[in-house]
């Protein structure tokens, strides 16, 4: 009946058998528990039915096993009111009767915790301690077992806790538990890299772990590269950006919108002059792929490209790009335009400097103090000061 999805009839039949002193097996009762949520709605109705089935087990002299408790946990975590407390209570009872929890037992505890407005990371600390003490059965006992490490690493990433992420990885690798990650183990290793990227005190630590995991355990997807690039931006250190972009290309990772914005954000500051051409190549090549993957040009991305062109002293290319941007109604940032003006002054190109300043006034940009100081100290435009001031008189 259960195989044919005749669940209500199956429950009634077992109740009838029980009244006739039928001795069911633990497997039978576990199977019934597995389908409680399919035949009952509402917290009270579901839990009452679960308790009724467990009562049948006890009366028949059948002892609950790890699957029994995991099925109870799978029901408990769906509760609307404080499911985490009920899951903790079931887990304590499980240990009390000396049944070793499986990984799936803790998976349901984490699921219940996730339903709270605020996920308590201390629950995961306690689970990690149990993992280290060896008080969890690592063998496959229940289908939920393969979901634990994914859920735990996801929480470590969400909470930006690199320490927990490293502990989880160590447990998996030291105990040879890669098979407990299931077919989609990329999410576990991907979340590990992201957790480290969001928490590591230095960028070097991030890339030590990157070298350790990629490509041995993971071919990263775009969301992993996004976090690595954002780490580069947050540390204001673009040193590894060309390497990351090369890896994205060689691993055939699509340049998604989130990855593209992170890529250009990472190259927006502290690009070394001696490597400027290398970064410009990344910017121009990736901008071509943006068209392929339908990623729209933006003010932020275009401004980074203009700044790199200026760093490479390519005024004509920068001016051509600004002209193309105007057709798309995209306005570069004040910072990008100021870099262009600094290049004009450095190259002593008076006509270009005036053109850049006129563009800035047309864009209603307020000149930064540093730019005003450069103009005041530079003799190139001294005879045009009155004209320049007239352009910006209405700009506020």
> Which pLDDT does position 37 carry in this prediction?
67
- C-alpha–C-alpha distance, residues 335 and 304, integer Å: 9
Rg (CA), the chain: 31
The DSSP element (H or E) to which 231 belongs, if any, is helix 222-234
Going by C-alpha positions, the residue among 213, 117, 118, 133 that lies closest to residue 166 is 213
Angstrom distances, CA of residue 373 to CA of 143, 335, 345, 381: 68, 15, 12, 12
pLDDT for the residue numbered 8: 57
Tell me the per-residue pLDDT of 313-357, one tens digit each, with 9 for 90 and over.
Answer: 999 999 999 999 999 999 999 999 999 999 999 999 999 999 999
Which of 144-153, 227-236, 386-395 is the least confident region?
386-395
Tell me the three-class secondary structure of 28-75, residue by residue.
HHHHHHHCHHHHCCCHHHHHHHHHHHHHHHHHCCCCCCHHHHHHHHHH
Q: How much of the chain exceeds pLDDT 90, in percent? A: 69
Residue 29: band (very low, low, confident or very high) from pLDDT cuts 50, 70, 90: confident
Residue range 50-60, pLDDT digits in tens: 888 888 788 87
Average pLDDT of the residues of the chain: 90
> Is the model's pLDDT at 89 over the cut of 70?
yes
Tens digit of each residue's pLDDT (9 = 90 or more) over 117-161: 666 678 889 899 988 888 898 999 999 999 999 999 999 999 899
Among 1-15, 34-48, 205-219, 363-377, where is mean pLDDT lowest?
A: 1-15
The reported pLDDT for the residue numbered 9 is 61
Six-digit token string for 147:
């979901």
* Encoded tokens for 276: 């400027």
On the question of pLDDT at 204 being above 90, the answer is: yes
Tell me how many degrees the CA angle 272-278-282 measures, rounded to the nearest 5.
115
**What are the phi and psi torsion angles at 250 (to 5°)?**
-70, -30
* pLDDT of 113 strictly over 90: no
**Does residue 245 carry a pLDDT above 60?**
yes
CB of 121 closer than 8 Å to CB of 162: no
The mean pLDDT value for 55-72 works out to 88
φ, ψ for residue 132, nearest 5 deg: -70, -35
Name 137's bridge partners: 102
Residue 95 pLDDT level (bands cut at 50, 70, 90): very high
Q: Point out which residues pair with 102 in neighbouring strands.
A: 137
Interatomic CA distance for residues 236 and 211, integer angstroms: 20
Least confident of 122-131, 244-253, 287-296: 122-131
In 3-state terms, what secondary structure has residue 312?
A: coil
Q: Tokens 């306690």 belong to which residue?
A: 126
Listed residue (138, 72, 132, 63) closest to 100, CA to CA: 138
**Is pLDDT above 50 for 360?**
yes
Which of these ranges, 22-31, 214-223, 274-283, has the smallest mean pLDDT?
22-31
What whole-number distance in Å separates Cα of residue 94 and Cα of residue 108? 14
Please name the helix (run of DSSP H) or strand (run of DSSP E) that holds residue 278, with its range, or none.
helix 276-292
| Residue 277: its H or E element | helix 276-292
Question: Would you say the pTM of this structure is higher than 0.75?
Answer: yes
Nearest one of 153, 57, 61, 138 to 105, comparing CA atoms: 138
3-state helix, strand, coil in the chain (%, to 5): 70, 0, 30
Which of the two residues, 80 and 108, has the higher pLDDT score?
A: 108
The secondary structure of residue 25, as a DSSP letter, is -
pLDDT band at 27 (very low <50, low <70, confident <90, very high): confident
Q: How far is CA 321 from CA 142, 244, 314, 318, 345, in A?
A: 59, 25, 11, 5, 19
**Per-residue confidence (pLDDT) for residue 133, from 0 to 100:** 87
Instruction: For residue 152, count CB atoms less than 10 angstroms from its CB and return exposed for 0-12, middle for 13-18, buried for 19 or more.
Output: buried
Q: For position 16, what pLDDT does the model report?
A: 60
Which residue in 265, 267, 223, 268 sits closest to 243, CA to CA?
267
Q: Look at residue 41 in the predicted model and tell me its pLDDT.
A: 72
Using 50, 70 and 90 to split pLDDT, how confident is the model at 296?
A: very high
């Amino acid at each position: 009946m259960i195989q044919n999805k005749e669940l209500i009839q199956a429950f009634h039949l077992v109740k009838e058998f029980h009244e006739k002193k039928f001795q069911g097996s633990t497997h039978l009762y576990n199977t019934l528990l597995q389908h409680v949520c399919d035949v009952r709605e509402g917290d009270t109705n579901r839990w009452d039915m679960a308790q009724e089935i467990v009562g049948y087990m006890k009366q028949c002299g059948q002892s609950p096993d790890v699957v029994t408790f995991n099925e109870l946990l799978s029901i408990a975590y769906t509760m609307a009111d404080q499911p985490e407390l009920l899951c903790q209570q079931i887990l304590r009872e499980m240990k009390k009767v000396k049944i070793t929890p499986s990984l799936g037992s803790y998976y349901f505890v984490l699921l219940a915790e996730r339903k709270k407005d605020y996920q308590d990371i201390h629950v995961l600390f306690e689970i990690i301690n149990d993992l280290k003490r060896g008080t969890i059965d690592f063998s496959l006992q229940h289908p939920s077992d393969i979901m634990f490490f994914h859920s735990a690493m996801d929480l470590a990433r969400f909470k930006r806790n690199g320490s927990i992420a490293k502990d989880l990885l160590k447990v998996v690798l030291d105990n040879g538990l890669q098979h407990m990650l299931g077919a989609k183990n990329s999410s576990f290793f991907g979340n590990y890299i992201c957790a480290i990227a969001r928490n590591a005190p230095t960028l070097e630590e991030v890339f030590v772990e990157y070298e350790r995991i990629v490509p041995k355990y993971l071919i990263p997807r775009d969301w992993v590269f996004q976090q690595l690039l954002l780490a580069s931006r947050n540390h204001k250190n673009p040193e590894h950006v060309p390497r990351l972009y090369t890896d994205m290309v060689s691993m055939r990772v699509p340049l998604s919108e989130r990855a593209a914005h992170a890529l250009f954000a990472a190259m927006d500051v502290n690009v070394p002059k001696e490597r400027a051409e290398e970064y410009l190549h990344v910017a121009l090549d990736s901008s071509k792929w943006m068209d392929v993957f339908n990623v729209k040009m933006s003010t932020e991305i275009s401004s980074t490209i203009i700044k790199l062109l200026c760093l490479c002293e390519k005024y004509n290319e920068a001016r051509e790009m600004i002209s193309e941007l105007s057709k798309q109604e995209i306005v570069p940032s004040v910072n990008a335009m100021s870099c262009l003006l600094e290049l004009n002054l450095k190259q002593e190109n008076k006509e270009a400097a005036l053109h850049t300043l006129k563009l800035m006034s047309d864009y209603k940009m307020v000149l930064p103090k540093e730019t005003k100081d450069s103009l005041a100290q530079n003799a190139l435009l001294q005879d045009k000061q009155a004209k320049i001031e007239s352009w910006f008189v209405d700009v506020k």
